[in-house]
Chains A and B, each alone.
Chain A
Amino acid sequence: MKQRKSSLKELGANGEEAVSQYLQQKGMRVIDRNWRIKGGEIDLVCDDHGAIVFVEVKTRTSNMYGNPFDAITPDKAFRLQRLALAWMAMNHRWGQEYRIDAAGVWMDGFGACEIEHRKAVL
């Protein structure tokens, strides 16, 4: 059980790493990772030519339990919105343009990796 849990954590970390590399290739700069407060966690915070981008990363090995984007429920989306505002307040970025993106990652455990990046999902 313990091993399973840690492997899930690993999967998530791998996905986030893959996404951050992917976004940097696209010209975005990662300014914060796994920013965590009491209300939750933001996976990635990037700078896309002046706009702050908060990225929620969802990693799956298959679509058996639904598409990664399905996992971002309305409740989760509301939390993301609040976390984003909290991050901006605490990092003195009030008033700056921002958006929230989602990234779905499919990893099969043998090194193959597929990323879908959807901009401004909220």
Chain B
Amino acid sequence: MALSRIRTLTLVGLEGHVVDIEVDIAEGLPSYTLLGLPDTALTESRDRVRSALVNSGYTWPNRRVIVSLSPAWLPKKGSNFDLPIAIALLVATGEVSQEQCGDIIFLGELGLDGSLRFVRGVLPTLLSATKQGFEKSVIPSANRGEGNLVRTMQSVSASSLSSVVAFLTHGEHGDKESQQTSSTEEFSRESHLDLLDVVGQKSARYASEISAIGAHHILFVGPPGTGKTMLAERIPTILPPLSHERALEVSAIHSVAGILGERGALSTLPPFISPHHTTTAPAMVGGGSHMVRPGAVSLAHEGILFVDEAPECASGVLDSLRQPLESGLVTISRASGTVIYPANFLLVLAANPCPCGKYTGRGRGCKCSSVQIRRYLQKLSGPLLDRIDIRTFVEAPTRAEMASDIFGESSAVVRARVIAARDSSRERYQGCSWSLNSRIPPRELRGRFTAEKSAMAFLHMELDSERLSARGFHKVLRLAWSVADQNGHTVPTKEDTEIAYLLREGMDILQ
């Protein structure tokens, strides 16, 4: 047969689109034409496929070979088309029959020796494939872990082109150990960090806990070396573990970025991403000309995005976070198309109080002028700061705290409280469109979900005296719900509300 058709998927964002690979071998002089908007990596597939076929012992058809990737309008990129093109050629030359390949998805890059190599984005590709009704796939053995995660898909992993052909023609398995899941390996990489390591910092710990309960964005301000970064790094350990579904979603994004290896594929620990403060806006929100890659905000999906030394960030970089903070998504438009990645993260910012970093409560040893101090934190723009619910000081631990051998609470203890508080809030919001305190819509805050009367009176007083803006009013109320959940109150009391007020408005350095 001189005509064949093989199917694979290509990713646009996290969405997989089915691509039909048709091969026609026609009479004429030897030539190879690849149709359907291939990018450079894909155009190069011609030489990889040719060498792989010849070195695996198959003959290259010395005729006019036309490979068409349809739909023709969709730009195709990457090396994961190597294997499907090779299989389509083998079907066209009669080595493999078309029936044997029926409804199997092929993915993989070929080495010149015919070996099958790791490709990016296998997990989201397979997830989309199952949604579109496919049940079988052939993937490189280096991607086996990802294949095993998709339980509704029967994934065969192979290490070479010839073992794929052996599987197709005889149904026998190329790799002996392939189907055995080493599931422990997928779960194992849990954090070795613990809140126990942090000395003192009672109020900052408390702020972190409230932040974790309601997913409130948080800003730590404090002198260098007091533990801002330490605390931030440990917030993932007090967040509730990710559900299976969420863990898959997070792993899918990491798979597209090609960094899944650094994280257990099914790790339930929320991701912690800390871009350097010199990072660019495209690296933060995602970008790239051919393949639009997820940025830091998407890698931190369902986890923590930690920006250390936030005032040192280039102007615009932090402000590019405003849109994803609002919508939980990033939409990136490039010449190759528009891509949407999820970006539902908890933002943690850390900053020094002034350029020299020593302007703390006692202000001892600070060399900065009052203007410098005022300007420094003003580099965080108003609209961004407005979205940060909790602002807290991280003071240097005292001598007594350093000497003490009584440790603070461990992550496990705090996490249990956070989970309990989240459970009670989820119960409260049953049937609502949100489940976290930080997401209560303003209308509901004034209707169904108000605080106690005395608490509301307190807030209205602050509003009257213009110490609180309308937006601040809502923010404090949302925080008050988290404080109430932590205290086990069914409705925020006046005390809860006052604590919430302090957490948000208590830092005069920002006014």
Contact = CB atoms under 8 A, between A and B. Distances in A.
A70 interface: yes
Contacts of B29: 69, 72, 77, 102, 118, 121-122
B285 to A, nearest CB: 44
A70 B29 CA distance: 7
Contacts of A118: 27-29
The majority secondary structure among interface residues of chain B is loop
Interface string A37-78: 000000000000000000000000000000101101000010
Contacts of B28: 118, 120-121
A118 B29 CA distance: 8
A67 B30 contact: yes
A70 B27 contact: no
Interface string B35-73: 000000000000000000000000000100000000000
A23 B29 CA distance: 19
Interface majority SS on A: helix, strand, loop or mixed? loop
A119 interface: yes
Nearest to A72: B29
A69 B27 contact: no
A116 to B, nearest CB: 10
A7 B30 CA distance: 27
Contacts, number: 20
A36 to B, nearest CB: 22
Interface string A95-122: 0000000100000000000000011111
A72 B28 CA distance: 11
B59 to A, nearest CB: 10
B2 to A, nearest CB: 14
B62 A67 contact: yes
In the A-B complex, list the 4 residue pairs whose CB atoms are closest, starting with the nearest: A67-B62, A121-B29, A121-B28, A69-B30
Interface of B: 27-30, 62
Given A77-B29, A121-B29, 16 more contacts: A67-B30, A67-B62, A69-B29, A69-B30, A69-B62, A70-B30, A70-B62, A72-B29, A118-B27, A118-B28, A118-B29, A120-B27, A120-B28, A121-B27, A121-B28, A122-B29
11 contacts: A67-B30, A69-B62, A77-B29, A118-B27, A118-B28, A118-B29, A119-B27, A120-B28, A121-B28, A121-B29, A122-B29
